[in-house]
Each structure stands twice: as C-alpha cells, then as structure tokens.
Amino acid sequence: MNCSYIHLDRKPNLEKEVLVTYLVTPQDGGSLIKAAENIAAESSVGTWTPVGGLSSKIFDELAAYVYEINDETRIVKIAYPLNLFEMGNLPQLASSVLGNIFSMKEIKALRALDIEFPTDYINNFNGPTLGLSGVREMMGIHDRPIVGSIMKPKIGLNPKQNAELAYQVWMGGVDLIKDDENLTDLSISPFAQRVAEIMEVKHKVEEETGQTKLYAFNITGPIDLMIKRGELVADQGGRCIMVDITPVGWAGVQEITDRFPQMSIHGHRAGHAMFSRSPEHGQTMLIVAKMARLAGIDQLHTGTVVGKMEGEASDVLPINNFLRSKWGNLKPVMPIASGGLHPGLMPDLIKILGSDLIINFGGGIHGHPDGSRAGAEAARAAIDAAVSGEPLTQAAQRCPALARALTYWSN
C-alpha cells in the first residue's frame, strides 16, 4: 500500500476538503518535506509507525495530503477530507488541525496561518444570531461606529459605583458599556447585584435620552454558571452578555450562543496572544476570528492598530474584512477596536478600519482630567467629527471636553 501524504501534483477541492496553511520550521538540519508529511499524518489517520488496521480504503478516503510546499517561505498547505470532521463541532476540528502536531519533536516551530472551509461545513453552524446588522438594529445606529466604554478601574468598584459611572458615560454619549475581562462575580462586585443596579440605571438613561443603551455583562466561568448568569441578565431585561472566548473554549462559546439566541454575544479575546503573537508558532488571530464566527459570536475584539495592543493594519484589516464579508449563510460579525484608545486617535483609527465597528474606550474616557462624563463627551465628539471628515481641532471649538482631551493626550 502506498501511504504517501505528499501529493504536490494534486489540486485540492475546497467543496470537499478543509484546507490549512502552516508555517513550518523543522528542527535544525531537518527536512521540510518530512516535517510536512508528519504533520499531515498526525493530524489525520497516521501515527509514528505503520499499524495493521490502516487499510488502503481508510487511507484513500481519510488521509490528509500536502499539496504545496515552498522551501523559501516554509509555507506548507495541507488538504483534509471533510469526513475527518464532525459537523458543528469546533473542539473536534481544533483537536485535529490545531492539536498534537504542535508537540512533535521533529518540528521546531509551527504556526497555523489560515483555515479554509467547505461551504457545507460552514453552513452546518448557526453562526451569529444577530450579527453586525442585528447589533446595529438593536442599537438604532446605522451610520457611525458604536461608541463603547469599559468600566475603569476594571476591578474595585462596587455595584452601585459601577452603575453611577455607567450613568455618567451613557449620558455623555456612549452607546455600549462592558465589564472588563476579569470582572465576573467577585466579593467587591457580586454579579447579581451589579446586573440589578446597572439595569435600573440603563432604563433611566433610555427614558432621559430616548436612545437605546447596551451593557455587556461578563458571564465568563464554568458552563453551568455562565448559563445561570445569562439567564439572570435575560430575566432583568438585558440584551448583551460577554464571554472571554479563549479561557472559556469553543465548547463553552458554542453552548452560550446556542442557549441565548436573543442576546448579542460580545466576544473578548483575552489570552489569544499566548498562541497568536509569535510570528513562528501558534495560530493567527484570523483563525480565531473564523472559529468565533462559526461559534456564533456577534461582536469580536480584533485590534486597534493605533492603540496599545499589538497588531498592525496588515493583521487587523484582513480579520475585520473577513468578519464583515459574506461567508456561507452565516451573518457578518461586528469588529471591536479596543485597547489604549483616546479621542485624538479617532481620525487615524476610522481612516484605517472604517466605520462599521465598535470603538471601545477605557482609560481614554475615564482618564479624562474632567472626569468620565467629559471623557465620554470627548470620545463621542471625536468619532462624530472623524466620520464626517471634520478636523478634531475644529470640533473641539464647540466641545470643551474634546479640546481638553486633545491637549491632555497630545503627548
């Protein structure tokens, strides 16, 4: 039986195969072709030694194969028969093409760059229930970025203080507020009490402004607790919950998106850089974004380019463009720019990333020298000006809070 995993003359079939692009670094002195072959074997039907049960039929139907190798770039492309994967099961997919292959001794480093899926595989997932357009419809905002804010300090406020701060930034022009990634149900801020206090303030603000406001409550935890927290938010009239997708894992994310189709699911990517930051090893944020869209996330943190987090335009733009593009029957996802943003960065941010996104401010609102409400006013004024093409210095002439922010963060 010919059990070769190398077929450089074979053309892959995206309608019947999952295609994965890897950057492969063999051990010093090792063969790229041999490393590629071992990756294809280990991630499909092979192992380290021949086994009697691997028949020609099984191999021909289920073996992955390498269809492209570039010796200069070390790019290797592998095709996986669709029958290797359980439909609708993201953890099983990850265990296959993002699993043991990263631990093999003959490989010094391995980075998964991209995964392309057959339409049949994509459409087997529900994807986002609301998606980008649903989030906009919920907010009643269609022609500008959604203005977001993170509560700061991220931990330390009690529920009443949190609600009072939420009132100030909502009244200052913020649309969506979120818990920080490490705020869940803590002694200083019990989850149920925080939800009750904030929802009371939310209703008050909506009555006073006539505008829809959202709060993304962080329900991250074991699956049973996430479900209880999500139900509590729903019972209080909340429409948005947040999940830290990397710590929770794809099983948890899929469970939550399936359980709460009426909710907008805000996906925080805390921890993604453990495996996405190295240029030689791990997986790209683009793959995370694809998995998150399959799992049903409506809003996803993707990067700012101009803020404090790593991620150049060449990294972030393809991710955002993918999230907003047509992809099988799945709805587009709303990208989120968050991390180290302040009003003075808005013209560059919107020029690079466009207006179809959520822009989250933390310190860029709460660090304003005149307080959080002034910070919210400055952020909103800066976004409105940037969208219209008006120079911020001109907008600042009628918005003292923006003028103060531009001076304060000028350096």
Does the predicted model carry a pTM greater than 0.85? yes
Asked if the model's pLDDT at residue 39 lies above 60, the reply is yes
Q: Where in the chain is the domain with CATH 3.30.70.150?
A: 17-122
**Cβ 117 vs Cβ 18: under 8 Å:** yes
Asked if the model's pLDDT at residue 307 lies above 80, the reply is no
Known catalytic residue: 281? no
Known catalytic residue: 301? no
Strands (E) across 27-137 are located at 65-70, 75-81, 107-116
For the record, the structure tokens of 146 come out as 């959604």
CATH class of 17-122: alpha beta
Per-residue pLDDT at 201: 98
- With a CB cutoff of 8 Å and minimum separation 6, the contacts of 88 are 124, 125
Q: Where in the chain is the domain with CATH 3.20.20.110?
A: 131-408
Which range (51-55, 152-156, 277-281, 305-309) has the least confidence? 305-309
Per-residue pLDDT at 310: 53
Per-residue pLDDT at 59: 86
For the record, the structure tokens of 395 come out as 């907008």
Per-residue pLDDT at 38: 95
Q: Quote the mean pLDDT of the chain.
A: 94
Mean pLDDT of 230-237: 97
Which one is catalytic: 202, 266, 268, 342? 268
Which range (51-55, 120-124, 195-199, 249-253) has the least confidence? 51-55
Strands lying side by side in the sheet with 75-81: 65-70, 75-81, 17-26, 107-116, 282-283
Over residues 16-36, the pLDDT tens digits come to 999 999 999 999 989 999 999
Q: What is the dihedral of CA 296, 238, 223, 277, to 10 degrees?
A: 50
Fold of 131-408: TIM Barrel (3.20.20)
Which one is catalytic: 152, 213, 266, 272? 152
Per-residue pLDDT at 48: 63
Per-residue pLDDT at 49: 67
